[in-house]
Structure formats: structure tokens, C-alpha cells
Structure 1
């Protein structure tokens, strides 16, 4: 697994996960339960992960969506 991004914004994570799913890329959000345990005050970011083989395509999708600087 390779990390695409970290954020405390659950809406952004949901939207980006849906974008990736539309492209046929399965994404996994890590640290969700840890974030909930700390009281959802936004101190612990959640990580959006994909398998290494999908990383380049997933990164391209996030760049086009405005969530990565262009290379």
C-alpha cells in the first residue's frame, strides 16, 4: 500500500475515494478508528492508501481534481 494523502476532512476523503472508485481504483482509508477515539477534534489525520500498482493513476486523478501539485 502507498499513501496518497493525509487529511482530517472526512468529506474530502469520501469524495476522493468515490473519484478513485469511479476510475476502478480501490482506496483504503487508514486511521479512521484512531481519529474517532481521539474525539474527532482533528488531531489525527486519516490516510488515503492505494496499492502500489494503482498509485500513479490515482495520483493523476487527484492532480486533476486539484489535490496534488502538478509534477
Structure 2
């Protein structure tokens, strides 16, 4: 099973959609984790969602985000 690395952690739905589109266009599989946590926070969007990518693709994914001008969204992990 591949190791997944956190690429982005945010509760901004627009950023999540944008990152998903960027990864899809680049052919990089990603997983949005904690999407169903909205049940816990009453759908307020308080709890952040995490976008995970395979460890062997994380550097390419980070470069794509930097090239798209959203490097500030990259998790520090």
C-alpha cells in the first residue's frame, strides 16, 4: 500500500477544488481526507480537510501548487 503524504490542510472549499483539479490535470492521484468531518462540526467548515498524495509524487505536486501561485497552502510536513 502506498504511503500518503499531506499536501494541503484547509477548510477553504475553493482551494480544495482547485488543488483537486490541478492534481487531476497533472495525472497525480489525490485523496481528500476528513471530508465527512463536517457532520462533527455541524457543516460549519471549522475542521480542516486534508489533501493527500502518494509519497513518490509529493514533490511534483508541491511544484504544481507553487507554479499555480498557491505555495502558501502547502503543508509544512
The TM-score range, normalised by the shorter chain, is 0.7 to 0.9
- Structure 2 residue 6 is matched with structure 1 residue 3: yes
The structure showing larger relative contact order (alpha-carbon pairs under 8 Å, at least 6 residues apart) is: 2
2:67 is aligned, of 58, 64, 67, to 64
Aligned length: 68
Partner of 2:23: 20
2:50 is aligned, of 47, 51, 54, to 47
Which sections of structure 1, spanning at least 5 residues, go unmatched? none
TM-score by length of 2: 0.81
In 1: Cα distance, 2:43 partner to 2:12 partner: 10
Give every structure 1 segment of 4 or more consecutive aligned residues whose post-TM-superposition deviation is greater than 2 Å.
none
Task: Report which stretch shifted further, 36-45 or 1-10.
Answer: 36-45
